[in-house]
Amino acid sequence: MKLRKPILLTLILIGLCAIGVSAYLQYGVPYFEQQTLEARDLQRISDLDTLNTDVQNALAASTTLPLGNPHTVYISLPSINPDCSDLNLPSLPDGWTYHCVTTPDLANTNSTGWLPINLSYEISALPIDPTSDPDTLNYYAFVTGTTTPLTSSGQVPASNNVRRNSLDYYALARSTQTTAASSKSGKQYVLSAVLDSEKYLTENVQTGNGSDPIRYTVGNDLKLWANADGLVGYWPINEGGGTMATDKISSSSVATLQNPAWSSTSCLLNHCISLSTPNQRIYINNLNISSPSLTLTVWVKLQKNTQEAYELVTASGFTFYVYISDPNLGVYGSVTDAGKQYFSGAISSTDYDTWHQIGFEYSYDDKGNLNIANIIDGQILDPNHINVGTPSFDQVDNLIINNRGLYTGEINSLEIYNYPLSGSELASYFVRENSLLNIK
């Protein structure tokens, strides 16, 4: 017996609804939200991979092809202001600026669009981020330059020319071939996009793509992005073995691990360091940070200890403390200026025995005030403003974690910026890095 079409369509709709209800009951709203985020990230990765190929092809055709101005971040957000000043974007290091174009020109491929390169022979329109929201940092960005001055001697560290990600491994022969044109032209560049989904954020960290844990980067000099966002040091501490932890920014600032105890259980990343004895420390030399502003964040999971306060990070220019006010975790920092020590206010919040992002930041203003603030889980807390007269900041050369051997707990992902991050930047970084815990 044949079913009438209306009845058949009704049965099909009932079946689809049943499948949807079953999926919702099994996975819940977060599952569907992550599926949406993954689809957007997949588009971002595909867009940048394709755009990278287009730029490589254009460079192969003309090694004198203009790539725009150095010290400029070209972004895929429209603005009536060429410097994007109406978009409330994150601060940039001194000497850097943003570049925007108007909405009608945004997708132009003749170098008048958001990307300052003539790709009119390669594509018909420039890709745009699927979200395109400055508040969540969702936009495509491009940076170019001829050098990557990341070492104290001004030498360019060995760049990671072989792009690696779990979605599309390039064969070594292909990666060598695709970078030949840009190497010949002496022009470096990087494309970047912030990721949102747990899946692709995790893959980004696991594969070591670029120098920023929340950004997918592609190009012939991935470390250029660190110059643009002021990231002067990033140690994931994710090696899983050995006595060294790599700095993703500079090859001269490798961390030396004294008596390391590696763990792969309940870490922020795949692996983390566990510190529990007085002779376990982390030494980082050759930082050469001379900026009078700095932001430091690190992920920690403290264990109960009889000591009231720990000098978690000790450096030539500052000290960062963490303590337990049972059952809460607390932090405060100090800056050394002309031999004097100035402290931020102590702040405690949230349980200490789970993973948290903690840190502090400081900067000087033009009135001689030293501004210090604490950071817990992406929030700037208890800022302190101290008049020090004429600033005489001590350069940060070396850094020690657990100098006095009093810290007990796990550590992952140490990051240092050469300027104070805004509240929105910290919140955005925290949300994305915190999502790495959700899939453990």
Whichever domain contains 322, its CATH number is 2.60.120.200
- Going from the C-alpha of 372 to that of each of 73, 97, 148, 338, the distances in angstroms are 28, 25, 30, 16
- Going from the C-alpha of 37 to that of each of 77, 178, 194, 421, the distances in angstroms are 19, 30, 12, 25
Q: Domain ends where: 192, 211, 229?
A: 229
In this prediction, residue 71 has a pLDDT band, given cuts at 50, 70 and 90, of: very high
pLDDT at position 181 is 39
The reply to whether 224 and 240 lie within a common domain is no
In the predicted model, is pLDDT for residue 386 greater than 90? no
Examine residue 292 and state whether it is found in any structural domain, yes or no.
yes
pLDDT at position 252 is 83
User: What pLDDT digit, counting tens, does each position of 244-253 carry?
Assistant: 999 988 888 8
DSSP 393: B
Examine residue 13 and state whether it is found in any structural domain, yes or no.
no
pLDDT at position 156 is 34
What is the pTM assigned to this prediction? Answer: 0.78
The reply to whether 307 and 340 lie within a common domain is yes
218: nearest Cα among 167, 268, 269: 167
Examine residue 215 and state whether it is found in any structural domain, yes or no.
yes
What's the chain's average pLDDT? 81
Q: Is the link from the previous residue into 327 a cis peptide, with omega within 30 of 0? A: yes
Examine residue 5 and state whether it is found in any structural domain, yes or no.
no
Name the β-bridge partners of 257.
282
- Phi–psi pair at 154, nearest 5 degrees: 85, 5
d(CA 251, CA 354): 31
Lowest-pLDDT range, 4-8, 46-50, 229-233, 250-254?
4-8
The reply to whether 225 and 242 lie within a common domain is no
375: which 2 tokens?
């950071």
In this prediction, residue 166 has a pLDDT band, given cuts at 50, 70 and 90, of: very low
Domains contained in the chain, number:
2
Contact between residue 195 and residue 432 where contact means Cβ atoms under 8 Å apart: yes
pLDDT at position 91 is 84
In this prediction, residue 266 has a pLDDT band, given cuts at 50, 70 and 90, of: confident
Q: Which long-range contacts (CB under 8 A, 24 or more apart) does 185-188 make?
A: 185/59, 185/63, 185/64, 185/65, 186/146, 187/59, 187/63, 187/65, 187/67, 187/144, 187/146, 188/144, 188/145, 188/146, 188/147, 188/148, 188/159, 188/219, 188/220, 188/221, 188/224
Examine residue 85 and state whether it is found in any structural domain, yes or no.
yes
Q: Which residue has the higher pLDDT, 238 or 330?
A: 238
The reply to whether 219 and 261 lie within a common domain is no
In the predicted model, is pLDDT for residue 298 greater than 50? yes
The reply to whether 350 and 222 lie within a common domain is no
pLDDT at position 11 is 57
d(CA 412, CA 357): 9
pLDDT at position 17 is 58
% of the chain at pLDDT higher than 70 = 80
Q: Domain ends where: 189, 204, 229?
A: 229
The reply to whether 249 and 190 lie within a common domain is no
Query: 10 Å Cβ neighbour count for 203?
Result: 18
The reply to whether 332 and 430 lie within a common domain is yes
Lowest-pLDDT range, 10-19, 106-115, 208-217, 275-284?
10-19
In this prediction, residue 29 has a pLDDT band, given cuts at 50, 70 and 90, of: low
Residue 58's domain comprises: 36-229
Examine residue 20 and state whether it is found in any structural domain, yes or no.
no
Examine residue 6 and state whether it is found in any structural domain, yes or no.
no
Q: Which residue has the higher pLDDT, 180 or 244?
A: 244
The reply to whether 83 and 123 lie within a common domain is yes
Lowest-pLDDT range, 147-156, 245-254, 317-326, 393-402?
147-156
| Segment 292-304 mean pLDDT | 88
Of these ranges, 155-164, 181-190, 216-225, 360-369, the one predicted with the greatest mean pLDDT is 216-225
In the predicted model, is pLDDT for residue 147 greater than 70? no
Examine residue 281 and state whether it is found in any structural domain, yes or no.
yes
pLDDT at position 16 is 57
In this prediction, residue 397 has a pLDDT band, given cuts at 50, 70 and 90, of: confident
Contact between residue 76 and residue 139 where contact means Cβ atoms under 8 Å apart: yes
| Segment 334-342 mean pLDDT | 82
The reply to whether 384 and 264 lie within a common domain is yes
Q: Domain ends where: 229, 245, 268?
A: 229
The reply to whether 319 and 267 lie within a common domain is yes
The reply to whether 402 and 378 lie within a common domain is yes
Lowest-pLDDT range, 255-259, 332-336, 392-396?
392-396
In this prediction, residue 219 has a pLDDT band, given cuts at 50, 70 and 90, of: very high
pLDDT at position 182 is 42
In this prediction, residue 49 has a pLDDT band, given cuts at 50, 70 and 90, of: very high
The reply to whether 275 and 387 lie within a common domain is yes
In this prediction, residue 5 has a pLDDT band, given cuts at 50, 70 and 90, of: low
